Amino acid sequence: MRPLFVPVMAFASLLLAGCASAPNDPTLTLQTSKTPAQYADCVVPKLQGSALNPTVSQSQRSYRIVVPSKVAADNVLEAYKDGKGGKVFIYERHLLASNLLPSSFERAAQDCI
């Protein structure tokens, strides 16, 4: 039993370290000429059309769109007022196998620039 204990503990430590060091930096930052409201009006229907269920909240200067995930952290898109348009921050957690192609979440965000 002891020979199995060490590899299992090492693997568990790696998993916990991965959770503890999850990046808080955006996975993608975009600049748009649209206001945050115009950008949200464009991206929300695209997300709904991809069978995603976005939740939208707003403040005076920004919109926050959250798409829940069953297997990872929620995907978040934040659009802020910036000069003559807006700045968009995308926080998306990919599964290892899905990093090759842009997700429907990322495509919707880029289509509305």
The Cβ of residue 108 has, within 10 Å, a number of other Cβ atoms equal to: 24
pLDDT mean over 50-58: 92
pLDDT of residue 19: 46
Rounded to 10°, the helix 36-49/104-111 angle is 140
40 has a pLDDT exceeding 80? yes
pLDDT of residue 38: 97
Encode pLDDT of 56-104 as tens digits.
999 999 999 999 987 778 999 999 999 889 999 999 887 654 566 788 8
| CA–CA separation, 113 and 89 (whole Å) | 12
